[in-house]
Amino acid sequence: MAAGQAPLGAWYVTVPALAGVIWLVGRADGAKAAAWLGLFAGAGHFGLALNWIIEPFLVDPEQYGWMAPFAVVLMAFGLGLFWAAAAALARAFAAGRAAALPLALTLTAVEGLRGVVLTGFPWALIGHIWIDTPLAQLAAYGGPNGLTLLTTLAAALPVALGFGGAAVSVALLAATFGLGQWRLSQPDPAPRGVTLRLVQPNAAQALKWEPGPARITFDRLLAYTAARPAVDLVIWPETSVPYLLHPGEGAALAIAAAAQGVPVAAGVQRVDGTRGYNTLAVIGPGGAVTAQYDKHHLVPFGEYIPYGDAMADWFGLRAFAAQEGNGYSAGPGAKLLDLGDKLGKALPLICYEAVFPQDLAAAEGRADWILQITNDAWFGTLTGPFQHLAQARLRAIEQGLPLVRVANTGVSAVIDAHGRTVAEISLGQAAFHDAALPGALPPTPYARWGEVPVWLLLAGLAAGLIGVRRRMVA
């Protein structure tokens, strides 16, 4: 099943593999046995799809490398618990072929829940297998959970109904493909008429904060920024400035001098009292900060320790407290950055905030475009950066907005409102690229209503299955 995730995108492997899991769960000897099957199927899927989780521990392997196997196993089986619950519920409801369609619904439900439970982690969703195909356009109507429901139904129907179900499954996928092709064939919105410069310094994570390499990286960023001709906005990646931000002096002044009047949106670290923030700052003439956004959806255990502040307040244990500068503090929440009449309003996302569709809907008002800065050097070079890029493309489809992502080591890209990559700087390349900002589409159904239609559809299908089962029992 994991072969369907980026970069392979082998959906034609995932669908029959998922059908096999559904068939096995239906044959399980009771709900408990089904739960064990779901647990190990989920652990296998997540262990392979999320293999990049070992990469952060290998940045400093002598100190943290021993943790990598435990991280993979704990992550895989922790997420596998969601699938275990789905399998147990479906098998408790019915057995054999009759359990197939209930499992399609419960799998969709738990995949949706893991995007929000315990701050959420909606990575490697079942529905992500379609991102490189026209079927991904369904996300404009049903989001990622709509894609997951499509996939689980396509796999369950042949198990539940045999050859007739297989025919219905093919017809369902074909109809969604046709919808996607139709949507992609519509005229593209007019470009906004501005040019952006994506700056990718390609800084190795293990050397990023060493004084010598940090200075080399900063000088490279300045040189790329100063290159002519001038553009309308220069964008640097997450935490690209290796020094603390002090408006009007130091690094901010150097950035403004290199930009020669052009605003620079840069990933910086800033300190306010004892708290530190992972920030996107727009730096204008004289090193002034004209707009800023503090990341609010932080990575648990990576950027902060959950309940660290509470442990300090209640027990005096300050080693994990963000309020003492031990980790980042969360910003106040999603917001739009007003960059002026020409550049419009941008919705800023920092790193893995782009994997949460609900974060994009949390800002007040509608953006003209989405701006993601990230440091994918943590994710290695095999799967993580490409899966992160794929999810950014899905956000563009869901909202009908162009998305610009600038990464430290790649992949930096300009993505149009249909989720197509129209400009790119490849992984592991130090370069800058000037690109036009694509236009925005009208708000999509998903942008208007979010997950509500999919959850209502799930509820309706579940009610229908319950009604059928009652009639059969009677």
Question: 264: which 2 tokens?
Answer: 């620079």
- In a 10 Å sphere around its CB, with 0-12 CB exposed, 13-18 middle and 19+ buried, how is residue 460 labelled? exposed
| Sheet with 345-350, edge to edge strand ranges | 337-338, 345-350, 369-374, 403-407, 412-415, 421-425
Instruction: For residue 66, give every residue at least 6 positions away whose Cβ sits within 8 Å of its Cβ, in sequence order, or none.
Output: none
Angle between helices 139-185 and 452-473 (to 10 degrees): 110
Do residues 330 and 320 touch, judged by C-beta distance below 8 A? no
SS3 content of the chain, % helix, strand, coil (to 5): 55, 15, 30
Do residues 429 and 200 touch, judged by C-beta distance below 8 A? yes
Measured distance CA(401)–CA(399) in Å, rounded: 5
Residue 40 CA, chain-centre distance (Å), reads 24
Strands (E), 29-174: none
Measured distance CA(237)–CA(411) in Å, rounded: 11
Do residues 308 and 326 touch, judged by C-beta distance below 8 A? yes
Determine how many CB atoms are found less than 10 A away from the CB of residue 97. Answer: 18
Amino acid at residue number 394: L
Measured distance CA(47)–CA(114) in Å, rounded: 16
The catalytic site residues sit at: 238, 295, 351
Label the pairing between strands 369-374 and 403-407: parallel
Q: Which residue has the tokens 């994991």?
A: 2
Measured distance CA(74)–CA(337) in Å, rounded: 38
